[in-house]
Chains A and B, each alone.
Chain A
Amino acid sequence: DVKVTQSSRYLVKRTGEKVFLECVQDMDHENMFWYRQDPGLGLRLIYFSYDVKMKEKGDIPEGYSVSREKKERFSLILESASTNQTSMYLCASSASSGTVNTEAFFGQGTRLTVV
């Protein structure tokens, strides 16, 4: 059974803290994604990685950075957490193939609250 695992289900951090959200997939997928989801705004892409050490900015990268040192792991970093980064964070992975829009598999999400 395919699996994308996020390190925490719920997280509470203080303003100004450095926050790491970890994501691991066991499907040998090339592509990995970080989204945030807020009510009424849907899933918004923060960063996308199509290979180890490769990354591409999504629609809302400000205030975030990512790291992909190994194929199975994609980390999202909030350098200095702010209250407007309180959100649900979803990690996903997908395979690269001859076609685009291969199925994305999602983790269970991390509900981050910054106080």
Chain B
Amino acid sequence: KNQVEQSPQSLIILEGKNCTLQCNYTVSPFSNLRWYKQDTGRGPVSLTIMTFSENTKSNGRYTATLDADTKQSSLHITASQLSDSASYICVPGGGATNKLIFGTGTLLAVQP
């Protein structure tokens, strides 16, 4: 069964600090992986997508990495801001289906 595991479950950091969120997946076949950000009380919004051939991709202060061999991805947030407080969810994609299976996410709280 395709599975997605994210760690840590929750994280508290001080404003200005960096952090790294992890995603392990067992989706097969694998095509790409997308990271979403979900603010409290809102639906998730896509941050970035990585194909199996990409190792690193940046979107402002967010940098995603992907290791398709070990089936791991990470999301690194640099110089965190209060507005980064949210849940971050990874969604691996593959096969012939467009059915999306979301990980449980990492809940990040950035404190002043």
What is the interface of chain A, defined by CB distance below 8 A to chain B? Answer: 4, 30-31, 33, 35, 40-45, 48, 50, 56, 58-59, 90, 92, 94, 96, 99-109
Contacts and interface: CB of A to CB of B under 8 A. Distances in A.
Contacts of A44: 102
Contacts of B93: 99-101
Interface of B: 9, 31-34, 36, 41-46, 49, 89, 91-105
Nearest to B96: A100
A45 B98 contact: no
Nearest to A9: B41
Given A100-B96, A109-B41, 7 more contacts: A40-B104, A42-B89, A45-B99, A45-B100, A99-B32, A101-B93, A101-B94
A101 B52 CA distance: 12
| Residue of A45, A104, A109 with highest tally of chain B CB at under 10 A | A104
Contact of B98 (A43, A50, A105, A109): A50
B41 A43 contact: no
A96 B100 CA distance: 12
B94 A100 contact: yes
| Residue of A43, A45, A106, A108 with highest tally of chain B CB at under 10 A | A43
A105 B42 CA distance: 11
